[in-house]
Structure 1
Amino acid sequence: MPNTIQPFVLDIPQADLDDLKARLSRTRWPTKSSVEDGRQGPPLLKIQALVAYWAEQYDWRCCERLLNGWGQYVTEIDGISIHFLHIRSPHKEAMPLLMTHGWPGSVLEFRHVIDRLVNPTEHGGTAEDAFHLVIPSLPGFGFSGKPEESGWNPMRVAMAWKVLMQRLGYERWSAQGGDWGAMVTMILGQMAPNELAGIHLNFVPFQPTDAEVANADASEKSMLADAKRYDQEFSGYMKLQCSRPQSIAFSLADSPVGLAAWIYALFQDVSDSDGNPEWVFSFDEMIDDIMLYWLPNTGPSSVRFYWEAAQAMTDNDREQQKMRTPIGISMFSGEQVRLSRRWADARFDNIVHFAEHEKGGHFAAMEAPEAFVDDLRETFRSLR
């Protein structure tokens, strides 16, 4: 029934796992590229190592137990099923926090920060630092429904998230996001519903002005150089997904290795790993994330989100007024697109916390969970 919230328990049929293993065993591999240092994409030997582990040692049931243990739910909003984790803190005065993932992430992006946020007294914090967590899967991602009509863009998701928090009975709450989650969270901040206490971002979608480029100091010039490198070397996936997502959709749906390599490329290029994601993420962590695209066949629907967002962009979107909602910002050095404090001051009226970190990249909650949690605590300490 509409407006109801139902428990959701994962129990993937063994036949699906057997089919996956059979597909992995039949992989037809490409030859090595002429330059196997990552500049043409994931090196052959690295993907072969990941897939060998996937086929021979990986255990999906461990991930399944993890997700079921946190507590999963589904509810219908605006005609689509929304899957989400809802993890309540034992501290009754905890602040509700809505956390939104990006691509190629999932609710598992937050796996290393969930207990730190929910049970702060077990991780160097106080009861006053506690959060109740609501972590939804974006439409077309994970175990949320797949949109069958055009229009599911970040604005529509933000509206759905507002309904979700109301449906859960939260009268005052906060929000956090990176990647697409940052875009959705920024929209919530611009909407500024009465219930929203504040937001935190570990990625800020923005375009520097001509004046900012001309007057950049040494640190800002480094940021501009990294952003230029991202645009020229690493953003091919984004340009394709914004313009022709269906052209890659067939491969993502049919080939587990094709899907894995497409996702691995982002772990390689935008993590703080010098192009070696195995230094930062375990095989299990990377494969768990890939499985949340493979099992529900959301590789295709997730990349279409880029096209939907591109269709929704207008000049007005790029010239927003300064946001008044209280905000905390975390900039991690391995993030390819960063902004300085003074660039942030030009866009946000009420920055309650701004931090720059020497370690960590685009997947900050996985790469630098302690710093990530400390920044969230600092951001919302004065907003409770």
Structure 2
Amino acid sequence: MTPFTIDIPQSDLDDLHDRLARTRWTPQLPSDGWERGVPTDWLRDLAEYWRTGYDWRAREAALNAFPQFVDEIDGLDLHYLHVRSPEPDALPLVLAHGWPNSFVEFARTIPLLTDPRAHGGDPAQAFHVVVPSIPGFGFSGAPRTTGFGIPAVAGMFAELMARLGYDRYGTQGGDLGAYVTPELARRHPDRVVGVHIDGGFGFPTEDDVPGMTEEERAEWDLMQQWSSGGVDHHALLRVAPQTFGHGWHDSPVSLLAWHAHKFQEFSMSDQPLLDVIDRDLFLDNVSVYWFTKTAATSSWPMYEGLAQGGAARFEWPKAPAGVPSGVYGGGSALMRRLAERDGPIVHWPEGNPGRHHFIAMEEPAGHVADIRAFFAQLR
């Protein structure tokens, strides 16, 4: 286990600034706001801030305040944060980030999780936190062969926790992390005490339609209308990840636009994106992708098949049998009924705050409060 410090060469930072300064800007198409994609003026303002106002060195130092390491597991370097709580009896907790995100997703929640006493909370609800960078993301090595999938990630995380000396721990994740954490529990139900995800258990598929009531079928129809909007990144990256990767690898504005587009689509608010997600935190994540050259390598969940067992058809996460599970945002009675087919659901709250898919970035205090409430039942 090798200690790791983020130390981006000044030449890389200078190159970023130079590329941003020389951007060949796309003319604005006739549109109203974001209806045809990220507006040129909006993107230009953000790129200029990234170049002249955003202080990467200060942000780098803040990220380096978290103890970080790299360990080789299954032939790949795995980067991870390991932040131990000052409370000796804290429960170990794996946090699994999403796409297009990174370990930056949890920068605001880690201090609240590890040291509740310092933030006016109950020290009995403390966690030792482990945040791995999923292979292909950030400072972890990228998969070298085809066929890499969620089971492989879960196996690496399990090995990491064993090497750290944790034989009993909880798991939490959203988006891509909502697939990794249940798989980890399926593989090691004797070690994982509970699985908490931001959302995703119980989403119906076409296979469920024949058994639906008339009311549930109407709900299904509304879900289809909602899910049909936006850019289908699963389709794009399943077919041509290398093609799009060329642009993201060469142009920081292309990468910035892609992240802005997806973060905007992932918002459940009509407010401007940067009123929901902090601008510097958003740029921390984009900067990690740029400096680590992982825009393309992080696309493997789509081209390898984001599903249970790596199947070709997209599937929603499923609760693991035999391990208690919970979600940050509960859904309808239909969703809970479907979720409970796969495993015990012991936490299904309604009314938690949140306007964005990446809730840990938007509502760190609310996110942490719900994680504490879920694991309080299981300690």
TM over 0.5: yes
Residue of structure 1 equivalent to 2:371: 376
Q: Does the Cα contact within 8 Å between 1:328 and 1:375 map onto a contact in 2?
A: no
Q: Does the Cα contact within 8 Å between 2:276 and 2:355 map onto a contact in 1?
A: no
Structure-2 change in CA distance of 1:270 and 1:212 (3 Å):
farther
What is the deviation of 1:375? 1.2
Residue 349 of structure 2 corresponds to residue 355 of structure 1: yes
| CA deviation string 1:338-383 (max 9, x = no partner) | 97333333332x2221112353321011112222111111111122
Structure-2 change in CA distance of 1:338 and 1:291 (3 Å):
farther
Residue of structure 2 equivalent to 1:225: 222
Residue 278 of structure 2 corresponds to residue 279 of structure 1: no
60-69 or 257-266: bigger deviation: 60-69
Q: Does the Cα contact within 8 Å between 1:139 and 1:152 map onto a contact in 2?
A: no
Residue of structure 2 equivalent to 1:331: 329
Structure-2 change in CA distance of 1:89 and 1:321 (3 Å):
closer
Residue 118 of structure 2 corresponds to residue 122 of structure 1: yes
Structure-2 change in CA distance of 1:120 and 1:172 (3 Å):
same
Structure-2 change in CA distance of 1:382 and 1:310 (3 Å):
closer
TM-score, scaled to structure 1: 0.90
Q: Does the Cα contact within 8 Å between 2:194 and 2:324 map onto a contact in 1?
A: yes
Structure-2 change in CA distance of 1:318 and 1:372 (3 Å):
closer
State the superposition RMSD in angstroms: 2.5
Q: Across the two proteins, how many residue pairs are aligned to each other?
A: 373
CA distance in 1, matches of 2:311, 2:362: 31
SS of aligned partner of 1:182: helix
User: What are structure 1's unaligned runs of at least 5 residues?
Assistant: none
Residue 265 of structure 2 corresponds to residue 269 of structure 1: yes
| CA deviation string 1:251-279 (max 9, x = no partner) | 01100000010011111111233262111
What is the deviation of 1:94? 0.3
61-70 or 209-218: bigger deviation: 209-218
CA distance in 2, matches of 1:120, 1:265: 35
Aligned-pair identity (%)? 37
Q: Does the Cα contact within 8 Å between 1:154 and 1:309 map onto a contact in 2?
A: no
What is the deviation of 1:192? 3.7
Residue 163 of structure 2 corresponds to residue 167 of structure 1: yes
2:150 aligned to 154, 158, 163, which one?
154
SS of aligned partner of 1:30: coil
SS of aligned partner of 2:12: helix
SS of aligned partner of 1:132: strand
2:79 aligned to 80, 83, 87, which one?
83
CA distance in 2, matches of 1:175, 1:89: 16
SS of aligned partner of 2:329: strand
2:2 aligned to 6, 12, 16, which one?
6
TM-score, scaled to structure 2: 0.91
> 2:341 corresponds to which letter in structure 1?
A
Structure-2 change in CA distance of 1:160 and 1:203 (3 Å):
same
CA distance in 1, matches of 2:317, 2:97: 25
Q: Does the Cα contact within 8 Å between 2:326 and 2:345 map onto a contact in 1?
A: yes
Structure-2 change in CA distance of 1:211 and 1:107 (3 Å):
same
SS of aligned partner of 2:297: helix
CA distance in 1, matches of 2:306, 2:109: 31
